[in-house]
Amino acid sequence: MAEKTSMAEELSKELLISRRNGFWDVTDEEIEKADAFCEGYKDFLNRSKTERESVAQTIVLAEKAGFVPFDSSKMYHAGDKVYYNNRGKSIILAVIGEEGCKNGVNISAAHIDSPRLDLKPYPLYESNDLVLFKTHYYGGVKKYQWTTIPLAMHGRMVRRDGSYVDVCIGEEEGEPQFCVTDLLPHLSSEQNAKTLANAIEGEALNILIGSRPIRTEDGKGDKLFKLNVMKLLHDKYGIIEEDLVSSEIEFVPAFKARDYGFDRSMIGSYGHDDRVCAYPALMALLNCKTPKKTALTVLADKEEIGSVGNTGLESSFLPYFVADLAKQEGLEARDVFSKSKCLSADVCAAYDPTYASAYELNNSCFLNNGVSILKYTGSRGKSGTSDASAEFMGEVRGMLYNNHVLWQTGELGKIDVGGGGTVAKFIAGLNVDVVDVGVPVLSMHAPLEIVSKLDVYMEYRAFEAFFRA
Ligand code: MN
Ligand code: MN
């Protein structure tokens, strides 16, 4: 009897997939490295809550690592490190390889925009002695999650003469914060009867920003509450109400990234999607010694609303950049792309036992089991996905195996309960081999998202190996 069991065990080990917590496959030393890596990540999160701040912080780190602004009229050579800043909202970084780009380039692509509350074009109003901002939510948000949490105001306001002022208020100790109010439970019987999706409507996401009028001699005047706030904004930032028309103001959760759990194994933060991939992809490139093939990290804007606009990956800024690199070597961009490979770095849903019915257990990704390689995303019958080839899946799987990077695969959740997409399809559209390699996240798109430190580190190790290949 004992022999038979052991034969079955042997066979199972040889033939079957064993899925176990990644903790058992790494040493304490690696856990320590993961924890140390995540200290830098938390700092990045706290400095980079918007796409603009992410680009600015990326440039600070890149210049420290010897990267310089790309100049298409200059000749570059193996080992040169450059970056292309696209309008302060997306960025491409490159390390020129020994072979240049004649055999293709290795691209890692992540996004740096996250769900949030944007201001409407005419946001400022007063109502019954309170002053509020009208907002328009950006990206896929569950609206109820954005009420009664502390919010900070980030962004840029551009004046009619083209000058601008950058704003960041609510992050530092002692600065005021803002919030969207919600109805008290005592008066919520009607609200409680609504569905979760309808209980808080888009037009209810109004941010409370003041409650005192400007003092006038006789206490008379129109819109004195609104005027008081506008005067404060004018005094501090030198803007008038009309300047809000040409602004990109984003209200984001005001709390900072912190360790979560008694064991400190996780990080809770706003904006893991997709900084949790952007930061590892960035660090792997910054630490990349002269690679064989030219290595690129692209950090894009607008993914959360479909990668649209001239800073999103549907735009041509990536192909134009690669065309500039190709031209230096007398090559056509299309020939470079056709031989190129890309790891599209975006988060996936981590299995949540509290909401087990949304997941298909066999094909779920779990916290602490390493990076998730997703062959496809999309919804229903794989609609809206690029669906990586078996060959490229095999290649990436082999690369991760050979470099002892913990990995897993799966799907977003049950087939017909929803869906989502990434930048993968836009890069695949350039005739590049591409697959999603990301980090599992709990409570994705919530103001507070959770990831595992081990997975963050494995994402870094995956890109390190990819650029080295
Ligand atoms: Mn994402
Ligand atoms: Mn997202």
Is the pLDDT score of 128 beyond 70? yes
Query: What tokens were used for 376?
Result: 């496809």
Q: Which amino acid is at 71?
A: D
**Per-residue pLDDT tens over the stretch 163-172:** 999 999 999 9
Q: Is residue 265 part of a domain?
A: no
| Residue 447 alpha carbon to ligand 1 centre in Å | 14
Write the CATH number for 31: 3.40.630.10
Please check whether residues 303 and 247 belong to one and the same domain.
no
Please check whether residues 317 and 449 belong to one and the same domain.
yes
| Residue 14 alpha carbon to ligand 1 centre in Å | 36
Give Cα 468 distance to the centre of its chain: 24
Q: What is the DSSP string of 215-228?
A: P-SSS--SSHHHHH
Q: Which ligand is nearest to the CA of 374?
A: 1
Contact 365, 348 (CB under 8 A): yes
| Residue 140 alpha carbon to ligand 2 centre in Å | 7
Is the pLDDT score of 1 beyond 60? no
| Residue 318 alpha carbon to ligand 1 centre in Å | 18
| Residue 421 alpha carbon to ligand 2 centre in Å | 8
| Residue 442 alpha carbon to ligand 2 centre in Å | 12
Please check whether residues 104 and 234 belong to one and the same domain.
no
**Alpha helices (H) in 48-74, listed in sequence order:** 51-64
| Residue 152 alpha carbon to ligand 2 centre in Å | 20
- pLDDT of amino acid 2: 54
What is the extent of the structural domain holding 185?
116-253
| Residue 88 alpha carbon to ligand 2 centre in Å | 20
Region label for 368, one of left (φ > 0), alpha (ψ between -120 and 50) or beta (otherwise): left
| Residue 347 alpha carbon to ligand 1 centre in Å | 5
Region label for 449, one of left (φ > 0), alpha (ψ between -120 and 50) or beta (otherwise): beta
| Residue 265 alpha carbon to ligand 2 centre in Å | 23
**Per-residue pLDDT tens over the stretch 172-219:** 999 999 999 999 999 999 999 999 999 999 999 999 999 999 999 888
Is the pLDDT score of 353 beyond 70? yes
Please check whether residues 411 and 305 belong to one and the same domain.
yes
Q: Is the peptide bond before 274 cis (omega within 30 degrees of 0)?
A: yes
| Backbone phi and psi for residue 6, each to the nearest 5 degrees, phi listed first | -70, -30
Write the CATH number for 188: 2.30.250.10
Query: What tokens were used for 65?
Result: 């690592």
Tally of structural domains, the chain: 2
With 0-12 CB in 10 A as exposed, 13-18 as middle and 19+ as buried, what is 259? middle
Please check whether residues 371 and 458 belong to one and the same domain.
yes
Q: Which ligand is nearest to the CA of 345?
A: 1
Please check whether residues 96 and 185 belong to one and the same domain.
no
| Residue 271 alpha carbon to ligand 1 centre in Å | 9
d(CA 439, CA 273): 9
Q: Is residue 100 part of a domain?
A: yes
Find the mean pLDDT for residues 270-286. Answer: 98
* Among 427, 413, 375, CA closest to 396: 375
d(CA 214, CA 90): 40
Please check whether residues 323 and 421 belong to one and the same domain.
yes
Is the pLDDT score of 126 beyond 60? yes
- Token pair 């896929």 is found at 140
Find the mean pLDDT for residues 62-91. Answer: 98
Secondary structure (H, E, C), 244-287: HHHEEEEEEECCCCEEECCCCCEEEECCHHHHHHHHHHHHHHHC
Is the pLDDT score of 258 beyond 90? yes
- pLDDT of amino acid 5: 76
Give Cα 39 distance to the centre of its chain: 18
Is the pLDDT score of 16 beyond 60? yes
